[in-house]
Amino acid sequence: MKRYLLPLIVFVVLLGFLAVGLNLKPREVPSPLIDKPAPAFKLARLDAPDKQLSLQDLQGKVWLLNVWASWCVACRVEHPLLVDLAGSGTVPIYGLNYKDKRDDAIAWLAKHGNPYVASLSDTEGLIGIDYGVYGVPETFVIDKAGVIRLKHIGPVTPEVLRDTILPLVKKLNA
C-alpha cells in the first residue's frame, strides 16, 4: 500500500497544477500600469482632426478609455454594450482609434453607433504602445487624478461591466 502512496501524491499534485493551468488566461497579461498615472497623450480628434485632446483635458473626472478600430471584429461584440452605457450617462467613454484609417473609422461609427464623447486618432499606434495595448479591444478605467485603475483585455461583456467596471466607477466617483 505504501509504495502506491508516493505516486498517488505526485499524481494529485500534478493534477492540481494542471487544473490551475487550464483555468489561467495566459492571453491576459497583467498590466504594470495599474495604479500608475495614465501615460500622457495629445492626439487629434477623429471627428475634428484640427482639434487636439490631451490627458490634462480629462482630469477631474472618472472616464473610460476604449481602444477600438474599424478592422477589429471583436469590437463589434462589445460595441452595443458601450452604446447603451453611453446612453445611460453613467461614465464618459473616450475612444482610442488604434491604427485605423480615418474614413473607415468614421464610417464604422456611423454604421454601429458612436458611444464616444470623442475618439482620438492613434494612427501609428504609438499611444497604444504607451498604454501597453497589444490587442483590440482593450478598456481602461481612469480616475479623477488621471490614474489607471483597471485594464480590461478583450471585449467588455455584460458581466464584466456589471460586476467590475460599473462598481469601480461608482466607487471612484463616490
Partner 1 sequence: MLDVPSPAAACGGAGRRDGSSSDSAPLRGRHWWPCEAGSAVSARSVIAALLLALLCVGVSAQDARPLADDPVLEAQVMRIAEELRCLVCQNETIAASHADLAVDLRKQIRQKLQQGQSQQQILDFMVQRYGDFVLYRPPVKSSTWLLWGGPFLLLGAALVGLILNIRRRRSPASVPLRSDEAERVRRLLGEEKSEA
Q: How far is the CB of 53 from partner 1 (least distance, A)?
A: 21
What gap in Å lies between CA 92 and CA 63, rounded to an integer? 5
Nearer to partner 1, 37 or 167 (CB): 37
**CB-nearer residue toward partner 1: 11 or 134:** 134
- Which residues 6+ apart lie within 8 Å of 13 measured at CB? none
Q: Give me the least distance between CB of 130 and partner 1, in Å please.
A: 6
Question: Which CB atom, from 37 or from 60, has the smaller least distance to partner 1?
Answer: 37
Residue 100: HSE in the Cβ half-sphere, 13 Å Cα cutoff: 27
Interface ranges with partner 1 (CB under 8 A): 26-27, 29-33, 99, 124-125, 129-132, 134-135
**Residue with grid cell 502512496, as numbered in its chain:** 5
CA 124 to each of CA 61, 98, 133: distance values in angstroms, whole numbers, following the listed order: 27, 8, 13
> Could you tell me the smallest distance in angstroms from the CB atom of residue 117 to partner 1?
25
Question: Which residue's CB is nearer to partner 1, number 85 or number 148?
Answer: 148
User: What is the smallest separation between the CB atom of 106 and partner 1, expressed in angstroms?
Assistant: 22
> What are the residues whose beta carbons fall under 8 Å from the beta carbon of 33, sequence distance 6 or more?
39, 131, 132, 148, 151
